Amino acid sequence: MEGNMLLQHPKTLSFVKRQGVVRPGAARLCTVGCAALLGFCSTALIVRSLGPAAFGSYSFIRWLATVAAPVTGIGMSALSGRYTGEIASRESPRLMAGIFYFVWRHHYRKILLYCLVYLLLVLPFARFFGGNAPGFLLLIAGLSVPPLLLNGVASITLRSLRRYDLLAAIQLIGAIVLLLLVLFAIYTQLPGGRITSVAAETTGATSPSSDWPYLDPGQTLAAFFLLASAASSLFMLTIALLYIMRLLPLRESLSPGLLLKQRLTRGLSSPLLLFILDGIVWQPSELLFLGHGHSAAELGFYMLGSILCTGFMNIPPALLSTCLLPFLLRYVPGQHYLNATEAWIKTTAYTALLALPMGILVFVYSPNIIASCFGEAYLPAVTPCRILLISAVLGSIATTSITRLASSGHKRAQVWPGAVAAILNLILAFPCTLTWGVSGAAFASASAQVVYATCSIVVCRRCMLEVYR
């Protein structure tokens, strides 16, 4: 959950050609797997210790702080990051150092603008959403955005240097630091925070015993978790910068030329229309309705279901690109792709074969998963989770098509599926949320995502057929 509300679907552009298939070693796979497991443990501890109401405010505030972050460009966009990394990887070390400086300067200006706009919106958010988004927690959540975005610049530089093992190790260290900070926060704040959180959920009462003014102990614990996330991101950024200083001759850097700067600037920019459409469809934009007129506990139930389904949607493409495809291409004869169309067809089919059985198992056993990992208090999250899981399965299958359209430059082909799905979401979100609450919000979101994923598969197929006619 801690880093995980991205707008793009990663690791799927490599599907279209054999030489782009990721072939990590066993050590890197184990490192990435351990980092993911530790991240899930941190999420489970946060969810269990906060309770539905406090977790609803915590996750909603994190969403408000980061939902618009991808508009800054490279720090949160997988496609722009990959494009910039490919450009830098073909240059000399001195020019790579110059590209790093150029991207860093370009990016921190956008980050400063983003932070300024966010600060101006803190007070309106606090007034509009009331107790679901206290202003003090909104300010703390904003601290995690700059290091999160700058980590994107550092990770792209390490990818351009082909230091994937180092990048995986840094992610593991960050996951360990986050878990230790979460455990420390729970150890120091749990007794008062848990009792007060449970009392507030059952009776609506709050306690003035919080160490911080105007915050109950549950919100105090949420503030510590927000600070822990910011601290772990800053720690990862520091380590990455230290290694970049050792790997690149920064003092002898060469400034990129005019044409190279134009290419980099073009890659760093994110189309605003596509960002808005993508945000309405794939980000839980219906949270704006839930945050204003519903309780924090309902927010917690919906956010937990959304987080689980978002994580599930990324699992089949990641397993395919890192495990199944390298195995097939190396040991099974006849699996080498002749063209991009054949690669798209086979990878989509392989993703479906992975996603459908996994989705059925999660759908059936979701009550057991939620109760055992997060506690029985979160069982109301089962219904929205199951609804969103349907669109997550189809979205996972459509990952190859969505990334293919985004990387091939078919802007019109990208716009109209997103526009149809976004309009559908906007039409359904308010009446469905007003009538059925959390389940209605999940239905509106899932409907829009199903339409977007289906249209993307159809449009991608049509575009690829036109190319090979």
The first and second tokens of residue 239, run together, are 């380590």
pLDDT at position 336, please? 61
Say how many C-beta atoms besides its own lie within 10 A of residue 411's C-beta: 12
pLDDT at position 416, please? 81
Looking at this protein, which amino acid is placed at residue 50? L
Specify the pTM: 0.83
More reliable by pLDDT, 250 or 13 = 250
The owner of tokens 């690791």 is: 11
pLDDT at position 2, please? 42
Q: What percent of the chain has pLDDT over 90?
A: 35
**pLDDT per residue as tens digits for the range 253-275:** 888 888 888 877 776 666 677 77
| Domain boundary assignment for the chain | 1-270, 271-469
Cβ distance 375 to 360 under 8 Å?
no
pLDDT at position 21, please? 42
Q: Does the structure show a pLDDT above 80 at 78?
A: no
Confidence of residue 20 (pLDDT cuts 50, 70, 90): very low
More reliable by pLDDT, 124 or 342 = 124
> Which residues lie closer than 8 Å to 354 by C-beta, 6 or more apart?
316, 319, 320, 324
Could you give the dihedral angle defined by the CA atoms of residues 125, 69, 351 and 373, in that order, rounded to the nearest 10 degrees? -50
Mean pLDDT lowest among 140-144, 214-218, 309-313, 430-434: 214-218
pLDDT at position 8, please? 38
Rounded mean pLDDT, 297-323: 90
Question: Which of left, alpha, beta for 437 (phi over 0: left; psi -120 to 50: alpha)?
Answer: left
pLDDT at position 332, please? 67
Confidence of residue 467 (pLDDT cuts 50, 70, 90): low
Q: Does the structure show a pLDDT above 50 at 184?
A: yes
More reliable by pLDDT, 468 or 320 = 320
Q: Does the structure show a pLDDT above 50 at 290?
A: yes
Strands (E), 271-404: none
pLDDT at position 88, please? 79
For 56, half-sphere exposure in the C-beta direction (CA atoms, 13 angstrom radius) is: 27
Confidence of residue 24 (pLDDT cuts 50, 70, 90): low
Mean pLDDT lowest among 232-241, 267-276, 329-338: 329-338
Tell me which residue of 422, 416, 396 sits closest to 11, measured CA to CA: 396
Q: Does the structure show a pLDDT above 70 at 412?
A: no
Q: Does the structure show a pLDDT above 50 at 203?
A: no
Q: Does the structure show a pLDDT above 80 at 5?
A: no
The first and second tokens of residue 292, run together, are 């204003």
Tell me which residue of 403, 392, 333 sits closest to 363, measured CA to CA: 392
Mean pLDDT lowest among 7-11, 82-86, 254-258: 7-11
pLDDT at position 48, please? 93
Rounded mean pLDDT, 357-366: 94
pLDDT at position 468, please? 54
What angle in degrees, to the nearest 10, is found between the helix axes of 93-129 and 26-66?
A: 40
Mean pLDDT of the chain: 81
How long is the chain? 469
